[in-house]
Amino acid sequence: MKTGKEYKILVVDDAKDTQLLLEFDLTSAGYHVDCCDGGEQALLTLTEQKIDLVLLDMYMPGLSGLETLEKIKTGSDTTTTVPVIMLSASNEEDEIVTALELGAADYVVKPYNAKILLARIRTAIRLKEKTKQLEYLAKTDFLTKINNRGNFFELSRKVLSLANRAGYPLVVAMFDIDFFKQVNDDYGHDAGDKVLITFAQQLTEVFRDYDIIGRIGGEEFAVCLPNTCVDNAKIACERLRQQVEKTNFSLGKSIDYDNSLKITVSIGLSLAKRGVSSMDELLKQADLALYYAKEHGRNQVINVNDISDEIVTDLVSSTNEQEIEPMHEDQLNNTIYGIDFLVGVNNVLGDEALFKEILVMFYQDHHLDGDKLNAALQEHDIASAKHLAHTLKGVASSVGAMVLFEKTKAFDIAINENKVDDYDHLFASLFPELTKVMQSIEATLDVHGN
């Protein structure tokens, strides 16, 4: 967490004496402070500057505090995540409830107590930082720091949809490090991790900034290349293949064997034909090309369209026959309902104690989300429902609550697409799952700090 001097607070109040008093107290506490007289100016400032927290007066001429708050929380991604603390001389309960339901982080009555206000500011900023970290974990592979499987799919599906509408080409490439199991067996998993990290770095160096790069699982990676023909994609993949082949992968000083090794990579390509709507199907096609590459010598780039239809049919049959042994729940070292413990622990580099702390934070921050969502739906407060669902979706994925993630994702999509008729039955599916997860966390971990 940054120090106070690195945080900027925007004070929005039409009373100059209040501005001066707040500026003095906040500056003395180490914060940068910017002041403005009304809501319109505040909204403009939020688009032009990086603001960490807003202190917003309830009653102002022109755009009121509540109207300004609503615009902040329904605006762009840069404004919706900024915590807002309301300030008012009124202690009217209905106004407080309205402000909190619109997304205010807190409510402070004027004249304020400086120590209490500063404590609430610290709490709001700390919660923002914690949520930001959880959202990062939800989208990022814990080891390589590139997109994880879920975020790769989400980003790629959006790009594929745009490609279909705009009519430009799109290619998906699948990568599999050859004989990677042997690396782990011969040199240990620390060496294997170093290889995966270096390989991911090479992917980010070779491919363009707007190409979507992700770790699909284990030693498998994928790249989605928008607005790219298959010939150019093959050139880029071949460049990556050659770079990997020439690299001495460092294993570090802790390895007892040679401190470097050579690896190769097999690559499969699939071009999205016009009208293709499924990223899953594209990846399956690229995976067939990858399987062909590995079965015919490895260390090569294969386009699925260069394989005959008869061979593709045989490859599909062969891959369908491969069964993966399911992991039983009793193999996990934790039995919290709805939580894939391995997914969650892997997201924090295998630190089980840290993961349990994150689960406690997850409970503390989100165990009332079901009630909040229900209230938002009953009051037709779609902006609040959207914010709650979007945040819960990201955090659920990061802690391994995959069923909850899928149900919240479906609800979030329905809100984004304004499918009002779907709200009730999707929420009816989401709410019991959220309740069971939270009850199980509460029963298993010390969520109340006892």
pLDDT for 281 equals 86
Can you name the residues that pair with 302 across neighbouring β-strands? 268
CA dihedral 146, 150, 156, 157 (to 10 degrees): -170
Among 62, 98, 96, 211, CA closest to 147: 211
pLDDT band at 258 (very low <50, low <70, confident <90, very high): low
Cβ atoms 88, 109 nearer than 8 A: yes
**CB neighbours (10 Å) of residue 75?**
15
Mapping DSSP to helix (H, G, I), strand (E, B) and coil, where does residue 173 land?
strand
pLDDT tens profile 377-421: 888 888 888 889 888 988 888 788 888 988 998 998 989 888 888
Rounded Cα distance, 369 and 45, in Å: 30
| C-alpha to C-alpha distances, 378 to 10, 286, 373, 433, nearest whole angstrom | 33, 46, 9, 20
Q: Does residue 350 register a pLDDT over 70?
A: no
Cβ atoms 197, 142 nearer than 8 A: no
Those residues whose C-beta lies under 8 Å from the C-beta of residue 250, and which sit 6 or more positions away, are: 194, 198, 259, 260
The encoded tokens of residue 366 equal 């989100």
pLDDT band at 277 (very low <50, low <70, confident <90, very high): low
pLDDT tens profile 20-29: 999 999 999 9
Task: Determine the average pLDDT of the residues in 1-9.
Answer: 69
Task: Determine the average pLDDT of the residues in 299-304.
Answer: 94
Residue position matching structure tokens 């062909």: 292
Residue 310 phi, psi dihedral angles, 5° rounding? -65, -40
Q: Does residue 348 register a pLDDT over 80?
A: no
Chain-centroid distance, C-alpha 438: 21
Q: Does residue 311 register a pLDDT over 80?
A: no
pLDDT for 171 equals 95
Among 65, 134, 137, 132, CA closest to 96: 65
pLDDT for 334 equals 47
Mapping DSSP to helix (H, G, I), strand (E, B) and coil, where does residue 106 land?
strand
pLDDT for 331 equals 34
Q: Does residue 362 register a pLDDT over 60?
A: yes
Task: Determine the average pLDDT of the residues in 207-223.
Answer: 93
% residues pLDDT > 70 (the chain): 88
pLDDT for 323 equals 41
The encoded tokens of residue 169 equal 């080409």
Measured CA angle at 351 (ends 443, 440), to 5 deg: 15
Residue 303 phi, psi dihedral angles, 5° rounding? -95, 130
Q: Does residue 253 register a pLDDT over 60?
A: no
The encoded tokens of residue 367 equal 């165990």
Task: Quote the mean pLDDT of the chain.
Answer: 85
Task: Determine the average pLDDT of the residues in 301-322.
Answer: 67
Report field, pTM of the whole predicted structure over 0.85: no
Cβ atoms 431, 423 nearer than 8 A: no
pLDDT band at 255 (very low <50, low <70, confident <90, very high): very low
Those residues whose C-beta lies under 8 Å from the C-beta of residue 317, and which sit 6 or more positions away, are: none
Mapping DSSP to helix (H, G, I), strand (E, B) and coil, where does residue 203 land?
helix
Can you name the residues that pair with 221 across neighbouring β-strands? 175, 215
Rounded Cα distance, 11 and 1, in Å: 22
Q: Does residue 333 register a pLDDT over 60?
A: no
| Long-range own/partner contacts, residues 83-86 (CB < 8 A, 24 or more apart) | 83/52, 83/53, 83/54, 83/124, 83/125, 83/127, 83/128, 84/53, 84/54, 84/55, 84/56, 85/53, 85/54, 85/55, 85/56, 85/117, 85/120, 85/121, 85/124, 86/56, 86/57, 86/58
Catalytic residues: 219
**Which parts of 19-109 are beta strand (E)?**
32-36, 53-57, 84-88, 106-109
Residue position matching structure tokens 């580099």: 349
